[in-house]
Structure formats: C-alpha cells, structure tokens
C-alpha cells in the first residue's frame, strides 16, 4: 500500500506539472482557438500517465477515482485516505515546480492552471453556479464512460491486464479530454481552464497563490464528490 501511495504522490505531482504547464502554454499560444489544443494535451498526457500507473497503484491520481473505488469496495477506506493525502501532497509539489520554472507573469495570468471562480464579480472567471454544474456533469460523464469500463471485473479477466490498461487509459483519457473541451468551450475565460475533474488540481494553486483562488474553491470538491455519489447510486442499480 505504501509503495502504491508513493506512486500516487509522484505521479500526481508529475501529472499536475506536465498537464498544467501544457494547458497554460496552449492558452498563452498565438492560436486563435486553443480549445482543441487543450483537449489534445489532456488526452495525450492523461493516456501516458494512466498507462504507466494503472498496473502499479490503479492509476487514480485523482480524489474522484479514489472515492468511487472506495464506494465500490475495490479499495479499503484506509488505502483511500492514504491515496488522497498522497495526491494532495503531489499536487502541491507539482505546482511548486511550475512556480519555479514558469514565467511569473504568465503563471499569474492563468492562476497556475485556471482555477478562478467568479466569487467577486471578476471578468476573468466563471460563476460558482456554472462551475459547479460543469464539475458535476463532466465528472459524471468521465465516471459513466471510464469507470464503467475500468471497473468491469468480468471484462478484465477476459482481456488480460495489458489490454485492459490500454483500454482503460484510452477511454478515461478520452472522456477527460472531452469534458475539458466542453467546459472550456462553454466558458472561454482565461482565468478558468475548464473542469478540474480532480480537487487536487486546484488545491496546489490555492495554497501557493491564495487570494482569489480560495473564492468558490469548494466547487472543485463538492461538484466531483456529488457526481461520485450520484454515479454510485446509479451504478448499483445497473444490470450486471
């Protein structure tokens, strides 16, 4: 369990570093419409990290997947708690790296990943209501598509570990890219880089930058966890 938790910590830190840096670069590029670039970056990076970590720790790297795995009884509450702690520490480490290597002006413009919620009427963000709806609906889409495939024990036995890793990585990464693309298309604000699908994504920036990033920060936690609960209630009534 501890080795798996260490994998989650390192993987989450590197995921936050590479994914957020890529998203900032896409948003700061001269491309007229960077939305497709952001979605493509999310797909490629998420796919590679999932392929590397699914056999080692389950490839969670997100409180969302850890929480739903715990609800479904695939991991214990103790393991889930350690995973969540590791992911939080990994998020902080990843954004510390970004803070050190990125141009400060660029990093500040996109608030280290675009986690701004319009709690004070700022024009560079989205409203709490919009962000909450996006977090809930997009997280539910990722769970409905990715978890339904990835947590299918019968299919895992039939296909084997190698094939399952590829299928899960592709499906989950694709669902995440679709969710980010939809949310960025809906909002189109520099201070908001789409749904987080992972509370840890915005925890690091909030702790490091503070200020406006704490306004409405609860949305990045409540929306995904509510989606997990609703998806779990739906999944237990699904036919086997």
Please check whether residue 228 is in contact with residue 67, taking contact to mean a CB–CB distance below 8 angstroms.
yes
Burial category of 22 from C-beta neighbours within 10 Å (exposed 0-12, middle 13-18, buried 19 and up): middle
Predicted local distance difference test score (pLDDT) of residue 131: 83
Predicted local distance difference test score (pLDDT) of residue 52: 86
Q: Per mean pLDDT, which range of 69-73, 85-89, 99-103, 176-180 is the poorest?
A: 99-103
Predicted local distance difference test score (pLDDT) of residue 41: 85
Q: Which of these, 34, 5, 63, 11, lies nearest to 229 by C-alpha position?
A: 63
The class that CATH gives domain 2-235 is: mainly alpha
Predicted local distance difference test score (pLDDT) of residue 118: 67
List pLDDT tens digits, range 24-76: 777 776 665 667 787 888 888 888 888 888 888 888 888 899 998 898 888 89
List pLDDT tens digits, range 124-146: 567 788 888 888 988 898 888 87
Domain boundary assignment for the chain? 2-235
User: Rounded to an integer, what distance in angstroms lies between the CA atom of residue 47 and that of residue 195?
Assistant: 18
User: Rounded to an integer, what distance in angstroms lies between the CA atom of residue 75 and that of residue 81?
Assistant: 10
Tokens of 224: 């995904």
Burial category of 90 from C-beta neighbours within 10 Å (exposed 0-12, middle 13-18, buried 19 and up): buried
Given 3-state DSSP classes, what are the helix, strand and coil percentages for the chain, each rounded to the nearest 5?
75, 0, 20
Mean pLDDT of the chain: 79
Predicted local distance difference test score (pLDDT) of residue 230: 93
User: Rounded to an integer, what distance in angstroms lies between the CA atom of residue 142 and that of residue 138?
Assistant: 6
**106 has pLDDT over 70:** no
């Amino acid at each position: 369990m501890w080795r798996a938790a260490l994998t989650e910590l390192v993987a989450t830190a590197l995921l936050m570093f590479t994914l957020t840096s890529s998203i900032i670069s896409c948003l700061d590029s001269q491309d007229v419409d960077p939305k497709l670039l952001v979605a493509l970056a999310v797909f490629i990076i998420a796919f590679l990290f999932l392929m590397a970590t699914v056999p080692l720790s389950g490839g969670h790297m997100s409180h969302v997947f850890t929480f739903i795995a715990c609800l479904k009884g695939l991991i214990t509450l103790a393991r889930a708690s350690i995973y969540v702690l590791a992911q939080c520490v990994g998020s902080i480490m990843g954004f510390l790296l970004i803070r050190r290597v990125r141009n400060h002006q660029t990093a500040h413009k996109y608030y280290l990943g675009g986690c701004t919620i319009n709690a004070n009427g700022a024009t560079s963000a989205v409203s709490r209501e919009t962000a909450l709806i996006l977090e809930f609906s997009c997280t539910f889409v990722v769970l409905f598509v990715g978890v339904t495939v990835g947590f299918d024990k019968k299919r895992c036995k039939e296909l084997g570990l190698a094939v399952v890793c590829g299928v899960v990585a592709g499906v989950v990464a694709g669902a995440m890219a679709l969710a980010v693309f939809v949310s960025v298309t809906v909002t189109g604000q520099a201070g908001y880089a789409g749904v987080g699908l992972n509370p840890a994504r915005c925890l690091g920036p909030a702790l490091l930058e503070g200020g406006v990033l704490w306004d409405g920060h609860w949305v990045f936690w409540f929306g995904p966890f509510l989606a997990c609960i609703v998806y779990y209630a739906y999944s237990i009534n699904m036919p086997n």
